[in-house]
Structure 1
Amino acid sequence: MDHSSSSQVSANSTEQVSDRASKVEFSEDEKTLISRMYKLVGDRWSLIAGRIPGRTAYEIEKYWTSTYSSRNQE
């Protein structure tokens, strides 16, 4: 196997994962649950993620900061 082609495949896979993580969509139910959980437990992202199947703490934190931190700066 050619090492350069396997490196390129790995790099492309990493880009796809990165792109997907930056474009994560949340349903209205998930947004509501995140908001309610944040009011209860604060920024304990892993605890919140444990209540939403298939979501990571990183995805939830990224959603929260991108949605609510810009409002705080106004």
Structure 2
Amino acid sequence: MANSEHSSSDDTSVDSREEESRNRSKLEFSEDEEILIIRMYNLIGERWKLIAGRIPGRTAEEIEKYWNSRYSTSE
């Protein structure tokens, strides 16, 4: 039974690593996506939902997070 308990904790750590990997890849945008985001931002500003509507498979939250991590200016 000790093995099943140990196995359960291993599964949790594997799930955590997989989720971290997915979150990291969500912020990796292709060059085409990046260009489109920049163009759309210059046209319509921070209307992330509209921008996301032009990029299949991306959510407004992902795009906003990407933008803020990449282009946000600290004052």
Report the TM-score when normalising by structure 1.
0.69
Corresponding residue number in structure 2 for 1:41: 44
Q: What amino acid is the match of 1:73? A: S
Computed over aligned residues only, the root mean square deviation of the Cα atoms, in angstroms, reads 2.5
- Give identity over the alignment, percent: 58
Which consecutive unaligned segments of at least 5 residues does structure 2 have? 1-7
- Give the deviation of 1:20 after TM superposition: 1.4
Q: Tell me, in whole angstroms, the C-alpha distance in 2 between the residues paired with 1:44 and 1:15.
A: 32
Counterpart of 1:25 (choices 11, 25, 28) is 28
Note the C-alpha offset of 1:13. 4.4
Which one has a bigger Cα radius of gyration? 2
Q: Residues 14, 47 of structure 1: CA spacing in aligned structure 2 closer, same or farther, 3 A cutoff?
A: farther
Task: Kindly state the Cα deviation for residue 21 of structure 1 after the two structures are TM-superposed.
Answer: 1.9
Work out the number of aligned pairs and report it: 70
TM-score of the pair, normalised by structure 2: 0.68
